[in-house]
Homo-oligomer: A and B are copies of this chain.
Amino acid sequence: MASKRVGKHTWSYSGQVRILAGAAVAGPKEGEGQLKGKFDHTYPDLYAEQDSWEKAERKMMEDAVNKAVEKAGLQMNQIDTFLAGDLLNQNISASFTARQNQLPLIGMFGACSASMLTLSTGAALVDAGFSDHAVVAVSSHNATAERQYRYPTEYGGQKPPTAQWTVTGSGAGVVGRGTTGPILRYATMGKVVDMGVKNPFDMGAAMAPAAAETIEVHFQDTGLTPADYDLIITGDLAGVGHPIATELLAKKGLELGDIFQDCGLMIYNDEQESFAGASGCASSALVMYAHILEEMNQGRLSRVMVVATGALMNPVSYQQGESIPCIAHAVTLETDVVSGGEKG
């Protein structure tokens, strides 16, 4: 068996596996933001016709999965693997969605890095032949996250400007062999980076070093340079974390310039209160499945790296005085023009 790894931490896919289709559904605030009009569905409120926010979140994941499978021209019984994660304790959004769609479930947890954790692992299983068609999905919901991680929303707790706004929505992708959609090229799997940040209202600063580390490792492992990408985009570093990552990379000799962007700064517009910007599994997933996928399919982007970051603490570890362990997983995509393949 030939190695499918380059360097220490980077998986190298065969070039045969693609994101055949993706779907993204979003809450009302997200639907009024920068990606307005790009979602497959925008819910008029946070309840999505359910009687609790938790049920609403899983309804959103179900809708995103169903829509992605439909857009891939497949039936649910042609999907053999479901890789999913979310922010709720015991991954209940993923688990209850899997109860509904009756697909074999590979439950994953990477906090907000779950978007690329599920995509990289799903692509590996398809690339190796363990799966023909895998669906990957993540979700987050502002109200379920606030209730679980912070205070009941009714309490009206104040936040500092370094805080971020958890995105409500879900993104899903169908991974398989085929002739259309971006080709999955590499995944650089992150290790935990913890620089000692303890402030849960400043996740961007905590996660920035993990993003910088994974990007640096990616270039070391592959021999590629920033010039090989049209876009290198982090998941949810937002207004505080993204400049820190930019600076850390510059110190490593990696000047990324305008191609270095952040999903957390692409969800809400300037008129919307979001503190430093967006966060949550759905931050990178909505940008990935509602925007980047379309840009690549339309030929406006050819080579893209998505680096999803996650903060892996929980309220108990924070209360026990621990700093925040962070991680970043990167997936790279390219179009047929770049890889020399032929479009179907």
Contacts and interface: CB of A to CB of B under 8 A. Distances in A.
A290 interface: no
A312 B129 contact: no
A2 B129 contact: yes
- With a 10 A CB-CB cut-off, give which of A194, A316, A327 has the most chain B CB atoms: A316
B104 A5 contact: no
A111 B90 contact: yes
B190 A105 contact: yes
Interface stretch (A9-17, A35-43, A162-170): A9-17
A192 interface: yes
Nearest to A81: B189
Interface in A123-149: 124-125, 127-132, 148
Contact of A54 (B8, B87, B317): B317
Interface string A112-128: 00000100010011011
Contact of A312 (B9, B107, B189): B107
Nearest to A51: B320
A89 B91 contact: no
Nearest to A7: B80
A108 B111 contact: no
Interface stretch (A94-102, A222-230, A335-343): A94-102
A99 B325 contact: yes
A104 B2 CA distance: 21
Contacts of A88: 314, 316
A110 interface: yes
A106 interface: yes
Interface residues of A, number: 63
A50 to B, nearest CB: 10
Interface in A282-302: none
A87 B111 CA distance: 15
A52 interface: yes
Given A5-B80, A316-B89, A192 B95 contact: yes
Contact of A129 (B1, B87, B92): B1
A305 to B, nearest CB: 17
Given A90-B312, A98-B325, A130 B4 contact: yes
B96 A325 contact: yes
Contacts of A55: 320
Contact of A92 (B8, B124, B312): B312
A3 interface: yes
A95 B127 contact: no
A115 B11 CA distance: 24
A193 to B, nearest CB: 8
A235 interface: no
B90 A327 contact: no
B105 A191 contact: yes
Contacts of A106: 108, 117, 121, 189
A125 B87 CA distance: 25
A109 interface: yes
Given A130-B124, A314-B88, A317-B54, A107 B109 contact: yes
Q: Which 3 A-B pairs have the closest CB atoms?
A: A128-B128, A95-B312, A90-B314
Given A90-B313, A90-B314, A108-B108, 10 more contacts: A9-B80, A89-B89, A92-B314, A95-B313, A96-B317, A105-B192, A106-B108, A107-B109, A107-B117, A124-B130
